[in-house]
Amino acid sequence: MTMHGAGTRVQRRHAVRLEQRAIKSGLWGEWERTALPCGIPGAILDGWCAEMRELFKNNLYVVLVRPVSTEWGEVQHLAIRTASSLEPPWRDMQRIKDELFGPGRTAIEVQPPASELVDAADMYHLWVLPLGFRLPFTLGRRT
């Protein structure tokens, strides 16, 4: 093993520990927004990365946002990750949705049919539905 490989492994372990502490404490820092009018720089022009229009980041998460026109209205596709690719806990996904789009919005995670599966990166996805949109089902009771 080379020193470079050992350094990379040590750096990754350190990054994972820092991210786990941030997840546990909830101290992520402020969100910074970057407009992406032409998608992610260097992205393949025919992929969905070219359709991303905003990037939000803080000390823990990076969130890419892609607007998608649907029969329900405009849905915001969020691609979420950490530097070391830790899977965000459910409460963090809820917090990301609330902080970036508001606590009154509904978001869903999708498990697609195998024929539509895209699994090219360790990213986690939410689709934030239009303001006021309500699914015909929910976890809690509706009043």
Each residue's pLDDT tens digit, 46-68? 678 889 999 999 999 999 999 99
**pLDDT given for residue 31 in this prediction:** 97
In which band, very low, low, confident or very high, does the pLDDT at 118 lie, cut at 50, 70 and 90?
Answer: confident
* pTM, two decimal places: 0.84
Partners of residue 54 on adjacent β-strands = 35, 65
In which band, very low, low, confident or very high, does the pLDDT at 2 lie, cut at 50, 70 and 90?
Answer: very low
Residue 102 gets the label, from left (phi > 0), alpha (psi -120 to 50) or beta, of: left
The helix/strand/coil state of 54 is strand
**pLDDT given for residue 133 in this prediction:** 92
**pLDDT given for residue 3 in this prediction:** 43
**pLDDT given for residue 14 in this prediction:** 84
pLDDT at 141 over 90: no
How far apart are the C-alpha atoms of 60 and 23, rounded to whole Å?
A: 8
How far apart are the C-alpha atoms of 84 and 50, rounded to whole Å?
A: 23
